[in-house]
Structure 1
């Protein structure tokens, strides 16, 4: 149970008395950036922009040159450094990597993930990374991946979309993509397909629980710890949603965890690989193997469901806003996959997917403008000075805004807000690569996402299938804006109407 002392009690009382006066003040209404108020620090500004936090942070980053020192209330341990500077990202995530572990503060915020790879440091992190990499590098993995994704496209995605088309009703593409990704990652991690993507769109509590969890996790980054702990203790607000999500995760995952007691062990299963690694190295969760496997599964599901579904959602919104790009993607598919000659849609392999250079560029633009993981939380264990000149004491809270990095004119040029797949195509017609500290959609440095190639394969297959079969029309007056959460979903989904494409 959380405990609260006199400083926290004083703070809550102080907020009730002083904050209304601050909200009514002229400087509150005129100031675009944070004002450092007595006692309250810059908290009023943070509360003011809490419904548009990513865009406001980007404006602040542009005005401050990419790095800003935020001052919180004097006794709430809310001081933090906010940055999107690629030089700082390179320093924190690569050059001085060992000085920036996830640490206890990160684990506290993401406690729902336990000892999964996102929270892990040192030996435990190395075990996670090595085990995941060995599984993804298996000779049969890409073949199995391609077949699994394509099977889901044929048996679930296209039939469901056809159903909406025949009924003549709008469909929330974001919901479809989340269900598709959830089913795929569950099959990969748990060897179980929950079939959440079916004609009747069944309600699967675990699949929907991710949405409630990620919003609470963002607010844990910016609210005083005592405040979100009070909400957790009372079981109210966003913390209530997180607790409900936690329960849904456990009820879904635990029944699908086997410990190999007298059962046939299958080396092709991901959790079997992790069980072996845990037993051989004798490290992992202090709560035992079963909890370790639960934490491992949830972290992988978290990554697999939300990153690909978020990228695809924004891709189709950007394409709808820039119809010429859709024409170019379709022309590339017909040419590179010989679809025009065959006059028929067909399966294409992982190797063939690499030929879709323009589609790859469109996906990269979606990831640049709307990175699925919008921000990262870091803290140094020893004093450090960043390339920007900012000096850091040990345990200084650092918020790295990946969302802002992709929208900085100093990083991407004057056309940084434009959707231009061409910026990812080299002069020779191949894929142009950018360093991860400039394009941190898959994180950067040693913690770069191991599922990057897998994500591109899945996204290309899904995007190509939809673009080939359907014309999409955005539903008028339906708002499409980024959510205020750690994962940059579309707040109200992506509503579209489908029409059969005459290919």
Structure 2
């Protein structure tokens, strides 16, 4: 649908989606493809033929209905820089499809019934599996996003208890308010200038998540910590590389030889580990010096250390390191990325931006004008709960730009999905939040429009959708424990910024791309102009 066919109020919002420019896979050092494009195409054809004849020779499964073949892993390598769009195009043709690899099928689906079956109904048959664990182990280790069974249940139980406490809610809200006010002060000092708001959001959310998670003042926003900045860069690089591993047949060989992209991966992981283990060591030393004072600590790492003190054999420092990094990717990358996309679409739709600013003011200060610090203090739980349109706008951002664009599960035994397609043991089954947000059969003809109103009833009250249709926070037993935590953080940051400033793109014709990573992060700066709201 062209912009000419859209209602006038939504033309700018639709244009925002049109300005999304995927990045070429070869533009980042270290992400080298081991083969040329013609060689990849030739291998792809050979793979298709080999698997076709292998299946015919086996003779099995001829009475079973398998998802249509849409390509091979080599096609995915060729489209790595635009992987989300590539899968969206295929999903419009086939709601469930296969991509062939030498060892298994990669099955992709956008059917909500399939998603519910994978994430809830037959949850026990779909997990991380050995392959996914191996691919992600260098970065995420045995953290909650990379394990099944007892380790997953243990971390889930401890994290669930922590996220349900009033202590963490109050502590995290105070951290978010202070960090958001600090961010507003930096933006105010540069009002009217070109500002990379994504960089500021990444640094500020990293600061806040480290404070909440580990009780550490990282200093990323102020630029006072070179080690913190190096950690953030290394984490981004490693996150991209582990995604590439899913489609690189040679990654284990490159890792063994310590060459090419795997050599860069090793350097990134070393930087990450040095930083994280130093944080753990400082915490342990603090606990040894004053056990009674340490017991009052409210950050999550301290709570895990106290549990280990009660049961010394439950986990070691490596396990703590894994828990930390999983928490970082959940609390920093996803939130900062969503806020960046949120401001991007608001820059292209001033109507929505101004409506949110009015709602924020009405819910807090009314006619009074106050500074950022005083305004942040007004963001109580009650005030935040009144911001229904802001909640809808953030949710609409997550629909179109989900923090995790694709999620993979390993099939432990032969199965049949609700749409009738057969899945074989060892297949990697993927549900796809990014393509699902763009499917007209799910969201209507305006699926690609940014329209917060779709989430509100006639009284302006937010109405949630099924988590198997809106999959940004997963669903079932693995549903995101930090969902409310994330919304609170995003709403506090968004409210402080939009109360104080009006944002515009620095260059109206600028395109915004994304970096193919575990999370949907913009590739490069988001340059905006911030002007003070009077």
TM range (shorter): 0.7 to 0.9
* Counterpart secondary structure, 1:51: helix
Q: Relative to 1, partners in 2 of residues 1:16 and 1:62: Cα closer, same or farther, differing over 3 Å?
A: closer
What do the CA deviations read for 1:447-484 (whole angstroms, capped 9, x no partner)? Answer: 11111111111111111111121222212243302222
Residue 124 of structure 1 contacts residue 283 of structure 1 at CA under 8 Å; is this kept in 2? no
Per mean C-alpha deviation after superposition, the further-off stretch among 403-412 and 250-259 is 250-259
Q: Relative to 1, partners in 2 of residues 1:22 and 1:102: Cα closer, same or farther, differing over 3 Å?
A: closer
Residue 416 of structure 2 contacts residue 423 of structure 2 at CA under 8 Å; is this kept in 1? yes
* Counterpart secondary structure, 1:340: coil
Give the distance between the partners of 1:128 and 1:238, measured in 2 at CA. Answer: 31
Structure-1 residue corresponding to 2:406: 375
Give the distance between the partners of 2:454 and 2:253, measured in 1 at CA. Answer: 47
Structure-2 residue corresponding to 1:223: 248
Residue 48 of structure 2 contacts residue 100 of structure 2 at CA under 8 Å; is this kept in 1? no
State the 1:344 CA deviation.
Answer: 2.5
Residue 372 of structure 1 contacts residue 441 of structure 1 at CA under 8 Å; is this kept in 2? yes
Residue 295 of structure 2 contacts residue 306 of structure 2 at CA under 8 Å; is this kept in 1? no
Q: Relative to 1, partners in 2 of residues 1:199 and 1:220: Cα closer, same or farther, differing over 3 Å?
A: closer
Structure-2 residue corresponding to 1:495: 527
Structure-1 residue corresponding to 2:472: 441
Give the distance between the partners of 2:481 and 2:230, measured in 1 at CA. Answer: 27
Structure-2 residue corresponding to 1:157: 183
State the 1:427 CA deviation.
Answer: 2.9
Residue 172 of structure 1 contacts residue 494 of structure 1 at CA under 8 Å; is this kept in 2? yes
TM-score after normalising by structure 1: 0.87
Does the alignment pair 1:484 with 2:516? yes
Question: Number of residue pairs matched?
Answer: 468
Give the distance between the partners of 1:385 and 1:256, measured in 2 at CA. Answer: 46
Residue 22 of structure 1 contacts residue 44 of structure 1 at CA under 8 Å; is this kept in 2? no
Does the alignment pair 1:38 with 2:67? no
Structure-1 residue corresponding to 2:440: 409
Q: Relative to 1, partners in 2 of residues 1:326 and 1:21: Cα closer, same or farther, differing over 3 Å?
A: closer
* Counterpart secondary structure, 2:221: coil
Give the distance between the partners of 1:379 and 1:321, measured in 2 at CA. Answer: 40
Structure-1 residue corresponding to 2:387: 356
Residue 174 of structure 1 contacts residue 494 of structure 1 at CA under 8 Å; is this kept in 2? yes
State the 1:60 CA deviation.
Answer: 0.2
Structure-1 residue corresponding to 2:239: 214
* Counterpart secondary structure, 1:69: strand
What do the CA deviations read for 1:311-369 (whole angstroms, capped 9, x no partner)? Answer: 100001111111110111112112222x3322325221123111100000000011010
* Counterpart secondary structure, 1:431: coil
Structure-1 residue corresponding to 2:320: 293
Map of 1:234-253 to 2, 5 A cutoff? 234-253=257-276
Does the alignment pair 1:322 with 2:342? no
Structure-2 residue corresponding to 1:19: 39
Give the distance between the partners of 1:18 and 1:301, measured in 2 at CA. Answer: 39
Give the distance between the partners of 2:272 and 2:515, measured in 1 at CA. Answer: 22
What do the CA deviations read for 1:407-465 (whole angstroms, capped 9, x no partner)? Answer: 11111111110001111112333211112111111112111111111111111111111
RMSD after superposition? 2.6
Give the distance between the partners of 2:431 and 2:345, measured in 1 at CA. Answer: 25
Residue 35 of structure 1 contacts residue 42 of structure 1 at CA under 8 Å; is this kept in 2? no
Give the distance between the partners of 2:309 and 2:217, measured in 1 at CA. Answer: 27
Give the distance between the partners of 1:465 and 1:50, measured in 2 at CA. Answer: 36
Does the alignment pair 1:103 with 2:133? no
Give the distance between the partners of 1:122 and 1:279, measured in 2 at CA. Answer: 23
Residue 41 of structure 2 contacts residue 74 of structure 2 at CA under 8 Å; is this kept in 1? no
Does the alignment pair 1:55 with 2:85? yes
State the 1:237 CA deviation.
Answer: 4.1
Give the distance between the partners of 1:275 and 1:186, measured in 2 at CA. Answer: 16
Map of 1:116-265 to 2, 5 A cutoff? 116-154=143-181, 156-165=182-191, 168-198=192-222, 204-224=229-249, 227-257=250-280, 258-259=283-284, 260-261=287-288, 263-264=290-291, 265=294
Give the distance between the partners of 1:385 and 1:145, measured in 2 at CA. Answer: 43
